Structure 1
Amino acid sequence: MPFYLGAFLAVALEWRAQARNAVLQAQTLQALETRVTALEEEKKTLGCQNEAYQTSLKQAQESKAEAEGQLAEALELQTDFYAREVALKVQVTSLQNIVEAYEKVQKDLKARCCEETGAMERMEGEMASQTQAMDLLRADYDKLQIEVNRLRVEKEALEKQVASGDTIIGELEKDKKTLIQEMAGTFEEGFQEALAQAVCTNPGIDISSCDSTHHIVDGKVVPL
C-alpha cells in the first residue's frame, strides 16, 4: 500500500474516533442538562413544601399547645429542607461546571474537526495530484517498455548476426591456418630444394647449419 493511502486511512480513522467521542460527549451533556432540569423542578417542589411548612408554623403559633410539637416538626423539616437545598445548590453548581467544561471540550473538538477536515481536503488534493503524476509515469513506463521490447528484438537480431559473424570468422581463421601451413610447407620445400641445388653445384660444401631457423648476419650463418 502506498504511503499516502496509509496516512489518509490513519487520519480518517482518527477523525472517525474523535467524531464518535464528540457524539458520546453530546449525549452525556444532554443527560446532564436533563438532570439539571429535574433538580430545578425538585428545588421548586421543595420551595412549595417550605411554604406549606411556613403556613403550618403560623397555624402552630395560633395554637400554643399544638404549636410546640408542630414547631419542632417544622423546624426539623425546615432544617432538612435547608440541608437538601444546600446539597442541591452544590450539585447544581457542580453540574453547571461540568456542563461548561463539556461545552468547552465540544468547541475544541469542533475546531479540531474543522482543522482535520481541511487537512483531509488538502490531502485529497495532493492524492489527486499524485494520481495524475502516477498516470503520467505509467504512460512513460509503457512507452519505455515498448522501446525496450524493440531494442530487445534488435539486440537478438544483432546477436544472431554476431554469432553468424563469429562462425564466419572461425571458418576464416581455419582457412588462414591451413593456408599458412601450406605456405610454410611450400617455403620449406623450396628451401630444401635450394640447399640441394647448392650441394649439387658445390660438392663437398657443409650445409649442416643451414636451415630455415638461421639467417646471414655480417657474412655468417647465425640462428634467428
Structure 2
Amino acid sequence: MPFYLGAFLAVALEWRAQARNAVLQTQTLQALETKVTTLEEEKKTLGCQNETYQTSLKQAQESKAEAERQLAEALELQADFYTREVALQVRLTGLQEMVEADAEVQKDLKDRCCEQADKMERMEGEMATQDKAMGLLQADYDKLQVEASRLRVEKEALEKQVASGDAAIEELEKDKKALIQEMAGTFEEGFQEALAQAVCTNPGIDISSCDSTHHIVDGKVVPLEIDD
C-alpha cells in the first residue's frame, strides 16, 4: 500500500474518532435540552399554581367586599333603629304632656304608653340581634383579612420561585451555546488539521472530495453513517 494512502488512512481514523466524540457531545447536548424542557414544564406548573392562588385571592377579596357591604347595611339598620327610638321618645314625651293636660284621657294615654314601651322592648331585642350579627360579620371580616395576607405571602413566594426558574433556564441556555461553539470549533479544527497533514505528507494529492460528512470504507470514500 502506498505510503500516502497509509498516512491518509491514519488521518481518516483520527477524524473518525473525532466524529464519534462529536456524536457523544451531541448526546450530551440533547440531555441538556431535555433538562431545559423539564425546567420549562416546572415553570408552567408554577405559573398554574400562581393562577390558582390569584383566583383564591380574588374570591377572598370579593367575600371581603360582600362582608363590608353587609356591615354597612347593618350599620344603616342600626342608625334607623336609633332614629325610630328617638322618634318614639318624642312621641312618648308628647303623650306624657297630654296626660298632664287632660286628666280625662289619662288611662287611655297610659295604655298607649305601655304599648309604646312594648314596641321599644321589641326594638331593643331586634337591636341586640343586629349587634350580634354585626359581631359575627366583623369576625368573618377579620378572618378574610388574615386569609388575604396569607395568600399575598404565598403569591410572593411563587413569584420568587418562577424568577429563580427563569434564571436557571437562562444559565443552561448559555452553557448550551458555549458547548455548541466549543464542539464546532474542535471538530472543524481537527478535520482541517487532518487534511493539512495529508496534503503536506503527500503533495499533489486531490482532497477536493473530502469533507466532514464522508469516510473511507473498503478503499472508497462514502457518506458517513451516524451509527458508525
Q: Does 1:85 align with 2:124?
A: yes
With over 3 angstroms needed to count, the CA separation of the structure-2 counterparts of 1:73 and 1:145, relative to structure 1, is: farther
Question: Aligned-pair distance for 1:31?
Answer: 0.8
SS of corresponding position for 1:159: strand
Q: Give unmatched runs, 5+ long, in structure 2.
A: 1-36, 192-209, 222-228
Question: Aligned-pair distance for 1:124?
Answer: 1.0
Q: Does 1:163 align with 2:202?
A: no
Contact 1:32–1:99 at 8 Å: present in 2 too?
A: no
What percent identity do the matched residue pairs reach?
9
Question: Aligned-pair distance for 1:83?
Answer: 0.8
Give the equivalent residue in structure 1 for 2:78.
40
Give the equivalent residue in structure 1 for 2:29.
none
| Whole-angstrom distance in 1 between the partners of 2:213 and 2:146 | 69
TM-score of the aligned structures, taking structure 2 as reference length: 0.59
Which stretch of structure 1 is more off in the superposition, 101-110 or 1-10? 1-10
Question: Aligned-pair distance for 1:132?
Answer: 1.4
Contact 1:29–1:102 at 8 Å: present in 2 too?
A: yes
Task: Write the mapping of 1:21-60 to structure 2, written as runs, cut at 5 A.
Answer: 21-60=59-98
Question: Aligned-pair distance for 1:45?
Answer: 0.7
Q: Does 1:128 align with 2:185?
A: no
Question: Aligned-pair distance for 1:38?
Answer: 0.7
Could you list the runs of 4 or more consecutive aligned residues of structure 1 that deviate by over 3 angstroms after TM superposition?
Answer: 141-155
Question: Aligned-pair distance for 1:94?
Answer: 1.1
Question: Aligned-pair distance for 1:97?
Answer: 1.4
| Whole-angstrom distance in 2 between the partners of 1:102 and 1:39 | 19
| Whole-angstrom distance in 2 between the partners of 1:130 and 1:154 | 32
| Whole-angstrom distance in 2 between the partners of 1:80 and 1:162 | 118
Cα shift readout 1:36-78 (whole Å, capped 9, x = no counterpart): 3212311321221231243134235423432222322232232
- Aligned Cα root-mean-square deviation (Å): 3.1
With over 3 angstroms needed to count, the CA separation of the structure-2 counterparts of 1:96 and 1:153, relative to structure 1, is: farther
Task: Write the mapping of 1:103-114 to structure 2, written as runs, cut at 5 A.
Answer: 103-114=142-153
Structure 2 residue corresponding to 1:16, chosen from 25, 48, 54:
54
Q: Does 1:65 align with 2:104?
A: yes
Equivalent AA in structure 2 for residue 29 of structure 1 = A
Higher relative contact order (CA 8 A, sep 6+): 2
| Whole-angstrom distance in 2 between the partners of 1:148 and 1:88 | 89
